[in-house]
Amino acid sequence: METLGTRLKRLRDEQKLTLQQVGKIADNSSKATVHYWETDYSEPKAKALSLLARYYNVSADYLLFGYEDTYMKKTKETLRKLDSLIHEKKISMDQIQKLDSEATGFIEFSISKFEKLNSSDDEAQKTA
């Protein structure tokens, strides 16, 4: 069964990061502390967990429980694709505005959801 620690270790390995690098990302935690998290000896505090989730582009729910809200996952993926299209294909805002109202509405809705997600992450960091 995958645990918080094994998920953290897998994500670190996938990114080819050292314990020290992850510690720096996670509110300047020590290598030993990160090792304790990965071996399920202890758990990160809320602020460190939020920073790690943001860095790895996953939810705190995924880190803690192994699942992620499907809707949010799809929204994040859509926004990544949109951002990629805008930057790689050099699509202008004028071109986006020429889209039909349904497509424009979807983009605006996705952006507002993303902004809410970011603001809730910011609030979690402030309370940590």
Q: What is the pLDDT along the chain (128 residues), one digit of tens a residue?
A: 899 999 999 999 999 999 999 999 999 999 999 999 999 999 999 999 999 999 998 888 889 988 766 666 777 777 777 778 778 777 777 777 777 777 777 777 777 776 777 666 556 556 55
Where along the chain do its domains lie?
4-65, 70-127
Alpha helices in the chain (DSSP H): 4-14, 19-25, 31-38, 46-56, 60-65, 70-88, 93-97, 101-127
| C-alpha span between 36 and 58 (Å, rounded) | 21
Half-sphere exposure of 2 (CA within 13 A, CB side): 12
Per-residue model confidence (pLDDT) at position 95? 77
- Whose tokens are 């694709």? That residue is 81
Query: Angle at CA 76, nearest 5°, toward 11 and 46?
Result: 55
Name which of 99, 71, 96 is nearest 83 in CA terms: 96
Q: Give the right CATH number for 4-65 from 1.20.210.10, 1.10.3210.10, 1.10.260.40, 3.40.50.300.
A: 1.10.260.40
Please report, for residues 19, 55, 122, the alpha-carbon distance to residue 118 in angstroms, rounded to integers and kept in the order given. 26, 13, 6
Cα–Cα distance between 116 and 109 in angstroms, integer?
11
pTM score of the predicted model: 0.58
Give the pLDDT confidence score for residue 72 in this predicted structure.
67
Tokens 């935690």: give the residue. Answer: 29
Looking at residue 126, what is its pLDDT?
Answer: 60
